[in-house]
Amino acid sequence: MRIFDGKLLINGKWVAASNGATEEIKSPFNGSVAGIAAVATLIDVESAIASALKGAEVWRRTPAHQRSAILMKAAALADERSEEIAQIISSENGKSLLEARGEAGRSGEIIRLGAFEGSQLYGTSLPLDANKGTGQEKLGFTLRQPVGVVVAISPFNYPALLVLHKLAPALGSGNSVVLKPARATPLTALALAQCFVDAGLPDGVLNVITGAGGELGDALVSDSRVRKISFTGSTATGTHISRIAGVKKLSLELGASSPVVVLPDADLELTTRAVALGGYINSGQVCISVQRVIVHEKIKDEFLNALQPLVEKIKVGDPKADGIEVGTLINAKEATRVSQSINNAVKSGAKLITGGEQDGSIVTPAIVSEVDPNSAIAQDELFGPAVVVSTATSTKQALEFANSTPYGLGSGIFTRDVDSAIQAAREIDSGIIHINWTPLWRADLMPYGGLKASGIGKEGVRSAIEEMTEVKTIILHGRAWN
C-alpha cells in the first residue's frame, strides 16, 4: 500500500473519507486493481475548503522565492518518481506505457515553469498625469496577487498533465488548491500531490479529494469562499458549472471536434504522418485529437492511400506490453459508444476504410471517409480513435467546414502556400491553429484554450497565472509640491 492509497489529502495529512468509504481503481485493459481511492463526502469537501482557506493565508504571505524553492523540490521529486508515476498512469488510464512515460516525463518541467512564472507577478505603473486635472503628485501602479482558494477539477485523459497545468500555476503564484481529479484516474493525482507534500509545501496549501464528481463538484464550485474554478472536462459539465458557480473567476477547458484542412499543395508525406499520430494518440481521447480531416477533393484518393498503411501499422493492445503504442479507451462502455458512432456513420452513407473493431475497451484505429461535414460523427465530439474525412472543393469551403461545429479548440492546415496559411490563421475560429501540423501538439508554456463551446480562458502556465491572480490598482496621493 502506498501512503496515499484510500486517502484524501486534507490540511497536509493523508486521511480517510469521513465515512471511511473507498473504492478500487481498476485497469481498463484487464480489470486488475491499480490502487484504492477514498470516496469523499460533503463533510470532506467542507474540511478541504476550510483547510485551503487557512493554507491560502500562509501561502500568499510566503515570499515568491520560497514558494519557488518548494516547487523546484517538488519538480525534482516528480522527475525522480517519473517511472512510478508512468506505471500508475498506464494502470488506471489504460494508455500505453510509451505514452504514459512521455506524460509523466513532462511533470517536472511543468512544475518548474510554475516555480518560475509564479515568481514573476509583475504590475504596471500608471501614467496618471496623462489625465487632465492630475499633476505629478500621485503615483499609480497595479499589484498582482493570488486569488485565494482555487478549485481544480480535471478529466481522466491526461491524469498527470492536466492536473499539473492547474497545480503548478496555482501554487507557483501563491494560491491554495482543492483538487478533484477524475473518478477513473485519482491515483496519479495523489502520487503527484505526494511530491508537493514531500517537498515541504505548508499544510493546507494543497488538498485533494477523490470521489463522485457530481456531488463533490457541485459543492466545490458553488462555494462562495472559492475564488477561482479551473475546470477541464466535457462541455456538458462545463456548462453546468458555469450555471452554478456564482461570482468567481472561471476557466473552462472543454470539448472539441478538431479539424485539419489539407490543401492540394500540401506535403502529403508530412500530412499523413502527422494525422496518423494526431488522430490516434491516447486512443483519440485528447481534446486536440484530429477528429475531422477536410481534404481538397483533388487529392482525396492520394491522401487516403498514403494514410491507410500508416494507421494500420499502429500497434494497439495491452498498454504495458513491449512495443504497444496505443492502449485502451477509459472503459468498455466508451469503446462501445465510439464503435457505435462509427457504425452509425457507415449506415448513413460514410465509408469505413479501416479499423473500428471493438474488443473490450479497445477500438482499432479507424478511418471513415465520405463523411457529411454536418453529420453527427463530424459535429459531435467523438473522443475515440477515428479520423473522419470529408472533401471540399475550395479553400474557402474547407475553412467553412472547419468552422462548422459548435467547437473551436485546436485546428491545423497543411499547405505550402503562405497566403492560404495566413487566411486560415485569420479565419478559423479556434484557440490554437497549427500551420503544417495537426492540433495534437502542445508546448506547456504556450497559451492554450478554446473558443465557442470549447471553453473560456487560457491555460499554459503563464496564461493560467494571469487567470489565477487578481490585479489591484494602487494610487498614492501625495501633496502638490509646486
DSSP state of 457: S
Sign for the pseudo-dihedral over CA of 231, 227, 239, 454:
negative
> Is residue 264 exposed (0-12), middle (13-18) or buried (19+ Cβ within 10 Å)?
middle
In 159-221 the beta strands, taken as DSSP E runs, fall at 176-180, 206-208
Instruction: Compute the least distance from the CB of residue 460 to ligand NAP, in Å.
Output: 10
Stretch that binds ligand NAP, among 22-30, 120-128, 180-188, 371-379 (CB under 6 A): 180-188
C-alpha cell at 30: 484487464
Please tell me whether residue 153 binds ligand NAP under the rule CB under 6 A.
Answer: yes
3-state secondary structure of 305: helix
Out of 4, 156, 303, 401, which residue is the one contacting ligand NAP (CB under 6 A)? 156
Place of cell 502542445: 442
| Residues in CB range of 384: below 8 A, 6 or more apart | 283, 284, 285, 329, 334, 335, 337, 338, 341, 363
Please tell me whether residue 380 binds ligand NAP under the rule CB under 6 A.
Answer: no
Pairing of strands 258-262, 410-414: parallel
Please tell me whether residue 40 binds ligand NAP under the rule CB under 6 A.
Answer: no
Run of H or E including 87: helix 82-93
Stretch that binds ligand NAP, among 20-28, 51-59, 74-82, 254-262 (CB under 6 A): 254-262
Cα 232 to Cα 164, 239, 287, 331: the distances in Å are 12, 12, 10, 19
Question: Which of residues 158 and 414 has its CB atom nearest to ligand NAP in the complex?
Answer: 158
Stretch that binds ligand NAP, among 95-103, 181-189, 297-305, 316-324 (CB under 6 A): 181-189
| Residue of 92, 99, 253, 467 marked active site | 253
Run of H or E including 70: helix 64-80
Q: Is 195 a catalytic residue?
A: no
Say which amino acid occupies 71: L
User: Rounded to whole angstroms, how far apart are CA atoms 285 and 157?
Assistant: 6
Stretch that binds ligand NAP, among 26-34, 48-56, 149-157, 316-324 (CB under 6 A): 149-157
User: Rounded to whole angstroms, how far apart are CA atoms 155 and 173?
Assistant: 23
Size of the site for ligand NAP (CB under 6 A): 33
Out of 35, 146, 155, 278, which residue is the one contacting ligand NAP (CB under 6 A)? 155
Please tell me whether residue 17 binds ligand NAP under the rule CB under 6 A.
Answer: no
| Residue of 99, 287, 334, 459 marked active site | 287
Question: Which of residues 12 and 213 has its CB atom nearest to ligand NAP in the complex?
Answer: 213
Question: Which of residues 162 and 171 has its CB atom nearest to ligand NAP in the complex?
Answer: 162
Q: Is 287 a catalytic residue?
A: yes
Residues numbered 416 to 475 that lie near ligand NAP (CB under 6 A) are: 450, 454-455
| Alpha helix positions (H), 119-183 | 161-172
Please tell me whether residue 218 binds ligand NAP under the rule CB under 6 A.
Answer: yes
Question: Which of residues 96 and 232 has its CB atom nearest to ligand NAP in the complex?
Answer: 232
Stretch that binds ligand NAP, among 80-88, 167-175, 179-187, 341-349 (CB under 6 A): 179-187
Please tell me whether residue 383 binds ligand NAP under the rule CB under 6 A.
Answer: yes
Please tell me whether residue 31 binds ligand NAP under the rule CB under 6 A.
Answer: no
Please tell me whether residue 193 binds ligand NAP under the rule CB under 6 A.
Answer: no
Are 180 and 149 in contact, with CB atoms under 8 Å apart? no
Stretch that binds ligand NAP, among 117-125, 191-199, 228-236, 275-283 (CB under 6 A): 228-236
User: Rounded to whole angstroms, how far apart are CA atoms 234 and 454?
Assistant: 9
Are 373 and 404 in contact, with CB atoms under 8 Å apart? yes
Question: Which of residues 111 and 409 has its CB atom nearest to ligand NAP in the complex?
Answer: 409
Stretch that binds ligand NAP, among 8-16, 76-84, 216-224, 259-267 (CB under 6 A): 216-224
Picking from 261, 296, 295, 306, the residue whose alpha carbon sits closest to that of residue 436 is 261
Please tell me whether residue 381 binds ligand NAP under the rule CB under 6 A.
Answer: yes
Question: Which of residues 60 and 240 has its CB atom nearest to ligand NAP in the complex?
Answer: 240
Question: Which of residues 230 and 420 has its CB atom nearest to ligand NAP in the complex?
Answer: 230
In 39-186 the beta strands, taken as DSSP E runs, fall at 125-126, 138-146, 149-153, 176-180
**Angle between helix 300-312 and 268-278 (nearest 10):** 50
Question: Which of residues 417 and 466 has its CB atom nearest to ligand NAP in the complex?
Answer: 466
3-state secondary structure of 371: coil
Out of 101, 183, 273, 452, which residue is the one contacting ligand NAP (CB under 6 A)? 183
Are 173 and 60 in contact, with CB atoms under 8 Å apart? no
C-alpha cell at 73: 523540490
Instruction: Compute the least distance from the CB of residue 462 to ligand NAP, in Å.
Output: 16
Out of 74, 179, 201, 254, which residue is the one contacting ligand NAP (CB under 6 A)? 254
3-state secondary structure of 359: strand
Out of 94, 108, 118, 255, which residue is the one contacting ligand NAP (CB under 6 A)? 255
DSSP state of 274: H
**Angle between helix 161-172 and 186-198 (nearest 10):** 30
Q: Any idea how long the chain is?
A: 482
Instruction: Compute the least distance from the CB of residue 342 to ligand NAP, in Å.
Output: 18
Please tell me whether residue 362 binds ligand NAP under the rule CB under 6 A.
Answer: no
By annotation, the residues acting in catalysis are 253, 287
- Tell me which residues touch ligand NAP (CB under 6 A): 153-157, 162, 180-183, 212-214, 217-218, 221, 232-234, 237, 240-241, 253-256, 287, 381, 383, 409, 450, 454-455
